[in-house]
Amino acid sequence: MFDLQNFIADCKEAVKSKDPQGQVGKLMEGAFRDPEAVRQALDDAAPKTDVSPLYADENLTVLRVFTPANFVSPIHNHLMWVQIGILQGEEKNYLYRRTTDGGLEVEQEVVLTPETGIFSLRADAIHAIEISPDQPLCGLHVYGGNILDRSSRSAWDPDTMEELPYDFQQIMDFSKKLYEKRKAG
């Protein structure tokens, strides 16, 4: 049976190891052998709306993520690794690389579902997500740092592709614009 507090304690120990991302990945894989127990623990710990921090310090953040159907994010970075497990829904990740002229290009597309297993995103990753229009997404994210401190992160304006300092309200405005564009087809 999955115990959220024990999982967090194990993650706190794992981030002290020589391979924190790998160790947390193993913990996530173990937890997701019983996804219903993980879902129940998250349902008991946090509301089924938005992003709910379950634990955060300078080395670790554990989030319950609930993202509405059809949500689209602008391109952004985290500047820290993350391990992602999906309990419900589908998330399409567009992974970008910087080009020699300073732009961005899609390097890879990865679709995450409950069946795809734990997804590991590198600290230097730049990505954007689209949530399936069929149902909201529910997942567990574990970050190798304090993702709630957004001071040095970036997001890209979807119209100009200009790299901007990360601003949560601006991200939501960009997401709304991208959603409307997606809805219009």
Q: Where are the domains of the chain?
A: 4-184
Q: Which amino acid is at 151?
A: S
Q: Which amino acid is at 163?
A: E
What percentage of the chain has pLDDT greater than the value 90? 89
Query: 6 pLDDT exceeds 90?
Result: yes
Can you give the pLDDT at residue 37?
A: 97
| Residues 154, 21: Cα–Cα separation, whole Å | 22
Can you give the pLDDT at residue 1?
A: 85
For domain 4-184, say whether CATH 1.10.8.60 is its number: no
Query: 50 pLDDT exceeds 90?
Result: no
Query: 150 pLDDT exceeds 80?
Result: no
Query: 184 pLDDT exceeds 90?
Result: no
pLDDT (mean) for 148-168: 93
pLDDT (mean) for 102-131: 97
Can you give the pLDDT at residue 30?
A: 98
Those residues with Cβ within 8 angstroms of residue 114's Cβ, 6 or more apart along the chain or in another chain: 35, 86, 87, 88
The Cα-based distances of 127 to 5, 13, 21, 36, 159 in angstroms read 30, 28, 18, 28, 16
pLDDT (mean) for 104-119: 97
